[in-house]
Amino acid sequence: MNHPLQQFQFCPKCGSKQFLEHNEKSKKCAGCGFTYYFNSSAAVVAVIENGKGEILIARRAKDPAKGALDLPGGFVDMYETAEEAVIREIREETSLSINSLQYLFSIPNIYLYSGFEVHTVDAFFRCKVNEYNHLTAQDDVSELFFLAYDRLNPADFGLHSIRKGVEKLLRETGRTINNRQND
């Protein structure tokens, strides 16, 4: 796998082709001296349970992993906290309003978008919602449904970080990981 910096051929500050590898995380322009560090993007994931202890599952409407299972969430916008991002993403994807949230853990991921590998750190939050009457799949979600933990199969989830997050949730709740084939 090529390092993402190999796709950057020109200095983003002055446009020089003398944009060369500086170290494993950066490139430096021999022309203007600008150093660009390639860092992870921040993303958020919501773990939402209903009153029956089932978890809210989304089906991806777009690539990457179109048609695969997912948990609601997305990228953190500039000037936005992770908490603000998860509230916004849940509203955009489900029409639900979060009443409270709690940080759980984070998992690194590589999100392939338009042929470019976006390295992310996905922050998982347990989110409380009091009312599900307006639950509607929208934005980049084609379907929403609740699934009992004992029906979760990490292999059904299309993104690496979400699979790992589901495995971690299952372990932390004392449930076994369901390795059944897709239904």
Residues taking part in catalysis = 143
Burial of 11 (0-12, 13-18, 19+ CB in 10 A): buried
Q: Would you call the peptide bond into 108 cis, given omega within 30 degrees of 0 as the criterion?
A: no
Q: Cβ(135)–Cβ(96) under 8 Å?
A: yes
Query: Phi and psi dihedrals of 4, rounded to 5?
Result: -55, -30
CB 138 within 8 A of CB 59: no
Structure tokens, 53: 């202890």
